[in-house]
Amino acid sequence: MAKLKSIRAGLFGLAAMGAVLGVPAQAAAEEVYVLRGAFDVFSAGMNQMTKRMQSRGINARAYSNGAWRGLADSIIKRSQAGQVSYPIVIMGHSVGGQEAAAMSNYLGQKGVSVSLVVGFDPGFAQPQPFRYGSPRVVNFYIAGQPRGHPYRSAAGFGGSINNINIKAFTNADHVAIDKDPQVQARALSVVYAAVGK
């Protein structure tokens, strides 16, 4: 009995040491934030891609547009406590694409590193230019139509922006762009490369 108590005490001591040293119980996962467009109902493709990423073991979640500020504030708070898992990836369709740029800028301004932003015809208003941080930005948009827009950069931005006009390989419109198989395949390949899965 005394031997069993000694073993238990030893195990407890190791666990406590791990807690003190900040040793994680398991390897940290990436954080992928998927922002849907207006009213949620027009961005079913964002849900599809989220499920595909989850099935691959990627820590991805889809959110309604308008949620970005609360999500960003949570990330900033956790970052200050050393509890953020990197890389951070932000994806957004339509209004969610606008918010993806805003969220990336907000986090970058607060010193939180965003690795990748993927847009799907950001609209309806022109997204704010990227000003902070150095994420890779990839945007699938439809040139020559009023709903979506290319992404832009401004002084202070240290990353790269690649605006891809999908007319070169598909006829999907603003509502269907996030559901198009070719767009999804290209977008997900970029995410998989960023998170290494």
Residue 8 lies in a domain: no
- Assess contact for 88 and 75: CB atoms under 8 A: yes
CATH code, domain with 182? 3.40.50.1820
Residue 15 in this model has a pLDDT that exceeds 90: no
Q: How far apart are CA 99 and CA 165, in angstroms?
A: 20
Residue 42 lies in a domain: yes
Q: What is the pLDDT of residues 118-168, one digit of tens each?
A: 999 999 899 999 999 999 999 999 999 888 999 999 999 999 999 999 999
Residue 40 in this model has a pLDDT that exceeds 60: yes
Residue 61 lies in a domain: yes
Q: How far apart are CA 1 and CA 146, in angstroms?
A: 77
Residue 151 domain boundaries: 28-195
Residue 5 lies in a domain: no
For the chain, how many structural domains are there in total? 1
Residue 18 in this model has a pLDDT that exceeds 80: no
Q: What is the pLDDT of residues 158-195, one digit of tens each?
A: 999 999 999 999 999 999 999 999 999 999 999 999 99
Q: How far apart are CA 127 and CA 120, in angstroms?
A: 12
Torsion of CA 169, 171, 173, 174, to 10 degrees: 0
Q: What is the pTM of this model?
A: 0.86
Q: What is the pLDDT of residues 44-100, one digit of tens each?
A: 999 999 999 999 999 999 999 999 999 999 999 999 999 999 999 999 999 999 999
Residue 20 in this model has a pLDDT that exceeds 80: no
